[in-house]
Structure 1
Amino acid sequence: MMIGGRGADKCRKQRRGVSELGLPSETGKATAGRDARATYSSPFPRRVDAGNQLAADPRLGTLAGRDDTIILALPRGGVPVAFQIAQRLNLPLDLMLVRKIGLPFHEETAMGAIAMGDVTYLNPAMIAAMRVTDAQVQAVLKKETAELHRRNMHYRQGKPYPDLKDKNVIIVDGPGSSTLDGIATGSTLRAAILSVREHGPTRVVAAAPVGPPDSVAELAKIADEVVCLQVKEPFNAVGMWYQLFPQTEDEEVLELLHRAESFGRKKEE
């Protein structure tokens, strides 16, 4: 459906040192990078803090522990955020695979997005303003579709897609490695919402730590509710709102999904 409108051990240790897994960087010694940014005033020190704040929001709290509710995270940056919400609210966690369709000459800036279920959202105004040709759009679509399928095989490993019919679905986005990721343009969340709608859910809630007013307003038109803790203008870039947001690696996504396998199960009396 188309919608218009690591190398060496040392290197691995360094990357893991600033991961979101709750490993040394989360609880141990600060890195030089952290010290350099610690004085910057931002509402979210890291993704996990943003997730905890979202979990404490009463709009999501009303869905805690419900059998008819599931959380879908947008990888990779949305997974550490969603993990905290799923853990605190005792809700099952799965993935909603999406890929940003970036401008061919500036891939950090979205001109659309694709999502599971053959959903494609393109922003015609952005495409026209940037004078992107149809051939360029199709080339980026081909590249990102291949990456979407790769991630589906790698992350889901043959696991069937969750049944979303008659469910409350919370779609969680978060910052990626790019300063323009997350809800900055709303393209990936839009594609995710449209994809989920194809499965007959009862309610779709979009959740993100921070976003600009125009993107939040546009998402509110297609979601039943948008939970965004910080709606800011000027927004500039998502990196301004975090002290630290290192790239979320594939291994971290898989580890968090493994740790979340027990979420949503009824606790024994």
Structure 2
Amino acid sequence: MKFRDRAEAGRGLAERLLYLKDSRPVVLALPRGGVPVAVPIAEALDAPLDLLLVRKIGAPGQPELALGAIVEGEPPQTVMNDDVVEMLGVPPNFITEQAADQLAEIERMRRRWLHRHAPVVPYSRTVILVDDGIATGATVRAALLALERAGAARRILAAPVAPREVAEALRPFCDEAVFLAEPTLFGSVGAFYDDFRQIEDAEVTALLEGEAKWRRAD
């Protein structure tokens, strides 16, 4: 399966998720690529759309190696890879400092894209977490765990494509996972799109503002 662009992939997911409309869900997109996928889902389900911002906590001297992640919320949630932390002997104060730095970046991202709009609260709600594709699943796993801690009543993961083994590994962390394709031979997310261009900050803001205006008009 190959998608023309993220919007087409979002429409395909929306068809699979229509049964959730009566549960009054909220749609949370993982930026940047998840936003154009999430817009048609939010419109089809008449659901509020927001971002869920996640930042990796990198290991000392190896910033690409994830010790864990911090996920925005009230309060923010820190999800750690305990095996990696123990293996590297990372001191707690390093994690605390890095988590604070990444939380500050999350706050800057929200101001840049949402102009200080208050985030949607997932407590007691059905939450649909949307991305444009999943490669390793590390960020999505952290987000799902954070949503559980934040009291989401039901967590639905929706993405156009994920490797079959990653899809299976993520299912225990949510109430339902919806994928349009689960290939055994994966390569990269971009290989499943004709148009997989980078989404710029201005486009994220425009999509979110356009969705908000459409909903107010409705």
Q: Normalization by structure 1: what TM-score? A: 0.68
How far apart are the structure 2 equivalents of 1:74 and 1:94? 9
Deviation at 1:236, TM superposition (A): 2.3
Structure 1 segments unaligned to the other structure (5+ residues): 1-41, 175-181
1:232 alignment counterpart: 183
1:251 alignment counterpart: 202
Contact 1:90 1:263 in 2 (8 A): no
How far apart are the structure 2 equivalents of 1:245 and 1:163? 30
Structure (1/2) with the larger helix percentage: 2
1:164 alignment counterpart: 122
From the superposition, tell whether residues 116 and 246 of structure 1 become closer, same or farther in structure 2 (CA, over 3 Å).
same
Correspondent of 2:108 among 141, 146, 150: 150
Which amino acid is 2:142 matched to? A
1:53 alignment counterpart: 12
Name the % identity: 39
Correspondent of 1:191 among 117, 125, 142: 142
Deviation at 1:143, TM superposition (A): 5.4
Q: How many residues align?
A: 212
How far apart are the structure 2 equivalents of 1:185 and 1:134? 23
From the superposition, tell whether residues 235 and 142 of structure 1 become closer, same or farther in structure 2 (CA, over 3 Å).
farther
3-state SS, counterpart of residue 260 of structure 1:
helix
- Runs of 4 or more, structure 1, over 6 Å off, are none
Q: Could you list the per-position Cα deviations for residues 10-51 of structure 1 after superposition, in whole angstroms to 9, with x for gaps in the alignment?
A: xxxxxxxxxxxxxxxxxxxxxxxxxxxxxxxx5112111111
How far apart are the structure 2 equivalents of 1:132 and 1:249? 36
Q: Could you list the per-position Cα deviations for residues 203-226 of structure 1 after superposition, in whole angstroms to 9, with x for gaps in the alignment?
A: 110111100122212221121001
Deviation at 1:198, TM superposition (A): 2.7
How far apart are the structure 1 equivalents of 2:217 and 2:202? 28
Deviation at 1:154, TM superposition (A): 1.9
3-state SS, counterpart of residue 212 of structure 2:
coil
1:1-269 superposed matches below 5 A: 43-57=2-16, 60-64=17-21, 66=22, 68-101=24-57, 107=64, 112-117=68-73, 118-123=76-81, 134=90, 138=95, 144-174=102-132, 182-262=133-213
Contact 2:57 2:69 in 1 (8 A): yes
